[in-house]
Structure 1
């Protein structure tokens, strides 16, 4: 009995995305785990991010994304004053094969989570010493 091959994401229409998927398919040593993030799995991931209960839970989701897909999502206060969730820098580090739509959907889910649960936003600010806990 042959082992089931994991489902991979359908390719984006030509010219619609600059994800670099072609380079992944050509390079035999490329990390292709990101291709396992199908549209259904992405939907489940977005729902999971939106359900995060606190900052530690959100960090766990980010750590699992890095372990399972090889992508790193950075969530940090922006360089300017943070008045709303739009003031946070939420972005992926460069990774070939990461679809443009995914690069928009996941950070948008994080913003919705922070908007729905402001305590998480305060925890992020506190984790980056923006409340002055370490100042004398």
Structure 2
């Protein structure tokens, strides 16, 4: 159940917290860990981190859409730096990108 008061609270993420979040993203090792970080972002910041294969053919990591939901009080810089950190980690750990594609039934059995 969604807490209406949680949706109304102002976001309070300062530069130090942003750097801690980026450092946490840089330590992601598995798809399950990525999902856990998505949950932490949702719970602590109140914004969703959407990661999904794009609507067209996915040939490179650019084909995976990574967006941090826009929320009042969440600056543009954070909304750009978090997806950039995730994309960088996916480049370092391609098995996580494959798991994202698999979760979208790209490699699933027919």
* TM-score, length basis structure 1: 0.72
- Residue 31 in 1 paired to residue 46 in 2? no
Shift of 1:74: 0.4
1:44 aligns with 2:24: no
Per-residue CA distance 1:52-98 (angstroms, 9 max, x = gap): 01011011011011111111110001111111111111002231111
Do residues 89 (structure 1) and 65 (structure 2) align? Answer: yes
Q: How many residues align?
A: 104
Unaligned runs of 5+ in 2: 1-6
C-alpha RMSD of the superposition: 1.3
Q: 1:1-136, aligned counterparts within 5 Å?
A: 30-32=8-10, 34-35=11-12, 37-131=13-107, 133-135=108-110
Pick the structure with more helix per residue. Answer: 2
**TM-score, normalized by length of structure 2?**
0.89
C-alpha distance after superposition, 1:6-54 (max 9, x if no partner): xxxxxxxxxxxxxxxxxxxxxxx8221x22x111110111111111010
Q: Which structure would you say has the larger Rg? A: 1
